[in-house]
Structure 1
């Protein structure tokens, strides 16, 4: 399964950021009132103009069942709607889960997390004026099972079938399967999901593109949907020249009365593809012509961050905040079997030096936890405290005794990867470790470390939560199942951890939030399978005529549904 943290590692390693403290985290909608449209007006907002975004690389996918990368998600939010959606509250900075296509965030039918029912709002239409049906949502979920689309999110499919490879139970309509997937029933405007086991977080999973509707008659194949998703949102695709330019225009059949989240203030939306982060930053600083209406997507490069941050004239145009990513120094527990050695690694690493080497405080903040500050229930602790996060070689040597462990340190052979490696390796050597560097081609870096038999002891990696709870961080990274299906980098396989994960996964989301935080702390204290290095931050710029764009700590991208041009 493609994960945002994997896909974006190379972006993360070259992005920069700064921030204020995050909000406490998102919450579930308590009822249907917050799901009703229209969305509250944005103070001062005007209609008209073209909002421009500038990014280096093309979208990996726009097909909602297939897209799994933050910049694609931000654009898809303008084009397609899903059963639920996270809604930003500008007064509190919190993001609340609400019904999008559905009248609310979902009904737990039997109060056990196994059966989830959604009723669609009336008046939701496609770009051709036809009504969205519950059967269309079921078909969208059905096509997400197709092996051709397996690089999209797989939560709903796995939970419906109870299999880690759901296509072995049902391969979708492209391969002769029914238009309604197993575990899904449709009745009028209602769609019900019957899961193989309890998943109280299902309403969050329902906010992913997996639940975007599509009439079977409009599915002309994966490539066609990827080039032009069939719109239910306020905008539709007007043209898409891959690798160069995407243009969206208003969908006249979108009814704001049905939408609690989005606005359609700008007339059109254009993505320009090609300029790198430095070029984007220079253009946004200059603020001329159409760049006054633009947003930089790739962020300010570390070398330019201090210049941007020190320019008071740019402060009102900075998009800053935590991303939902944490960068870890993973320890291969199948090779480094001694807990004392792993604890010594935690004490030895100079995290502050790592942050400085990879961009400084505008790039990230020293991390001490497995969960990001953007996750619901996050609590800060430090299982291996050192002065200022600079490492404690004496404490590490005390744990090692007379031993001088020889460890292989792998890292992506990029500028940021090399800079981070130098800082970490130097601190490990000061504590008595014998380190052999192993630079790896960044194009297959994750493929090489995502094998239990990889020949490396230490290697960095970044992971971002798919929605803001611990359920999309700790189970995929630290369960025994993850260690065998290619989702883990530490290959921790402890029955006690698995039992805790199973128990917390079945708890109501609100109660689970604190228990995930407890498990975070206990994994680090009892097993020390990695070193949390940095909470990743971002810094981007907007043009002087752009308003209402905000940096989401949950999605990890600037979001545009409140944007307007002045």
Structure 2
């Protein structure tokens, strides 16, 4: 939110609520200019039913359990949070803005205390007022073991929260959260966190009235603070029917044009694209937030002018890469890792990922977006097709004049990011440099278990990472902060890097509340880490999604990379 395959631990980006994008968004103009958007030229209007066709069910529809960023997509229709994402196209949509709060938060001098004031007149779906105590309670219940699944940051960031077990077991609550009055909430942190306004977009910051809390059954009818309320939740989110919340305190971000939103999930991706393509009946007013067009489908759509006009393009902060374990020979030698970096043929990798329309070659770990602090660099320049001669030269220096044989671990899943096709493209490229690559394909669960176990991590494997919010922090820290190496659980520091200078710089950037200044520092740190050659960036995915012919006001931000259902209107 976004490594999608392990989103319960960190990220942010693609299989649950994610489906996990820059200026390439084929969308409309600014959110307030009345533009009809890519779906047509008519002015957006209220009314009608929007259908959402998804492959993944909207499971665990409880703000404590949802792993979403920016207030989520479908979740943000029901749950408002202290802050949210800016609902605009491209880079403008990567900014954090106030939601329930009057601003994005007021930090203390060292960013260890954050204070928020709620807007006046906020109400739930039943007309009762939203208070700061409800924000506090909503966060506290997210610590309950039976409501696990949300983002892990609060347990790490809030002072004294590491062992808290939620309000069902501990009636005292979290002393780190103070509510001096009904409109003020104060957070006390363990250490400086300049990006707390981003964290406050997570659904754990949605208010929950204690009197209406039904524990694990709350997901069946959570109390809405957003423009829609849940009127039906079938089979744990397989079908979610939302209707207008007449007590919604209209905000500046959500347009909420349709009267109803019908979320239908558990569908095969090919069926979703067929229905959106045909655009018949209710499907004419339908969208998807988690199903891409594949290469063959995209080729067909691109050849049809009418269909091509109904494709939204998005970019999410996401990188696919080759990972090294420097504790495993021969990858303990930086020259071997550098040789592989030079030998990579990114054009063949991009082709294996579906072609240039669906993947962009990457030489930096940070995605090519301003909010991340992207700083262009290519420390091992190999052109589009690799530099086999330079790779052989480095291998000779490393004591391998006749080349070497290594094993590349990947998933056998159809997920193109770690698929056999990507692995084969890497294998073919390295062969030109005298490197024989044996492919070790594992079933997806075995693959995930192995690459995220610090004790069993292979020496060379395919990996990917997505950010929980558009900043370098949740992108670089989980992968390169040595203090985040987990020896007895899910580990994401794939290179097992523990460089004191890197750790120190991460701490220094985290103290900054000027997010533009922080972004520049993240970009510089990315380059510094890149010189260590513990990863080889391969590509950043591009998302292409169809929508129905009666859909208007398409907005796709760089925060989520998907069509924003809070902005859509239907004909």
TM-score, length of structure 2 as denominator length:
0.89
- Deviation readout 1:138-197 (Å, 9 max, x if unpaired): 0111112223334211223311137xxx542x111122242x413111011100001111
Query: What residue is the counterpart of 1:196 in the other structure?
Result: 190
1:265 paired to 2:263: no
Query: What residue is the counterpart of 1:565 in the other structure?
Result: 570
Q: 1:137 to 1:18 in 2, by over 3 A?
A: closer
Unpaired segments ≥5 residues, structure 1: 24-38
Structure 2 distance, partners of 1:176, 1:380, is: 49
Report 1:86-485 matches (<5 A).
86-90=85-89, 93-108=92-107, 110-161=108-159, 166-168=161-163, 170-178=164-172, 180-188=173-181, 189-221=183-215, 223-242=216-235, 244-256=238-250, 259-297=251-289, 298-335=291-328, 336-374=331-369, 375-388=371-384, 390-401=385-396, 402-403=399-400, 404-415=403-414, 416=416, 417-484=419-486
Shift of 1:124: 1.0
Does the CA contact (< 8 Å) of 1:56 and 1:275 recur in 2? yes
Q: 1:73 to 1:356 in 2, by over 3 A?
A: same
Q: Provide the secondary structure at the position in 2 that maps to 1:492.
A: coil
Structure 2 distance, partners of 1:22, 1:284, is: 19
Shift of 1:363: 1.8
Structure 1 distance, partners of 2:324, 2:557, is: 30
Shift of 1:420: 0.6
Structure 2 distance, partners of 1:286, 1:17, is: 24
Q: 1:71 to 1:61 in 2, by over 3 A?
A: farther
Q: 1:227 to 1:431 in 2, by over 3 A?
A: farther
Q: Provide the secondary structure at the position in 1 that maps to 2:73.
A: helix
Range 362-371 or range 68-77, more displaced: 68-77
Q: 1:2 to 1:360 in 2, by over 3 A?
A: closer
Shift of 1:343: 0.9
Shift of 1:265: 1.1
Q: Provide the secondary structure at the position in 1 that maps to 2:314.
A: strand
Structure 2 distance, partners of 1:19, 1:158, is: 31
1:515 paired to 2:521: yes
Query: What residue is the counterpart of 1:83 in the other structure?
Result: 82
Does the CA contact (< 8 Å) of 2:21 and 2:559 recur in 1? no
Does the CA contact (< 8 Å) of 1:135 and 1:186 recur in 2? yes
Shift of 1:21: 4.4
Structure 2 distance, partners of 1:552, 1:20, is: 9
Structure 1 distance, partners of 2:437, 2:56, is: 35
Q: 1:91 to 1:284 in 2, by over 3 A?
A: closer
Q: 1:385 to 1:210 in 2, by over 3 A?
A: same
Does the CA contact (< 8 Å) of 2:112 and 2:188 recur in 1? yes
Query: What residue is the counterpart of 1:56 in the other structure?
Result: 55
Does the CA contact (< 8 Å) of 1:125 and 1:132 recur in 2? yes
Structure 2 distance, partners of 1:347, 1:425, is: 14
Structure 2 distance, partners of 1:260, 1:95, is: 16
Q: 1:55 to 1:437 in 2, by over 3 A?
A: same
Greater per-residue helix proportion: 1
Structure 2 distance, partners of 1:372, 1:286, is: 34
Q: Provide the secondary structure at the position in 2 that maps to 1:45.
A: coil
Aligned length: 538
TM-score, length of structure 1 as denominator length:
0.90
Structure 1 distance, partners of 2:537, 2:4, is: 18
Q: Provide the secondary structure at the position in 2 that maps to 1:528.
A: coil
Range 319-328 or range 449-458, more displaced: 449-458
Does the CA contact (< 8 Å) of 1:52 and 1:294 recur in 2? yes
1:551 paired to 2:556: yes
Range 481-490 or range 76-85, more displaced: 481-490
Shift of 1:55: 1.0
Shift of 1:496: 1.9
Q: Provide the secondary structure at the position in 1 that maps to 2:84.
A: strand
Does the CA contact (< 8 Å) of 2:2 and 2:466 recur in 1? no
Report 1:480-519 matches (<5 A).
480-484=482-486, 486-508=491-513, 509-519=515-525
Does the CA contact (< 8 Å) of 1:245 and 1:273 recur in 2? yes
Structure 2 distance, partners of 1:363, 1:78, is: 29
Q: 1:60 to 1:493 in 2, by over 3 A?
A: farther
Shift of 1:400: 0.7
Q: Provide the secondary structure at the position in 2 that maps to 1:304.
A: helix
Range 275-284 or range 78-87, more displaced: 275-284
Structure 2 distance, partners of 1:21, 1:380, is: 18
Shift of 1:3: 5.0
Q: 1:16 to 1:230 in 2, by over 3 A?
A: closer
Unpaired segments ≥5 residues, structure 2: 36-42
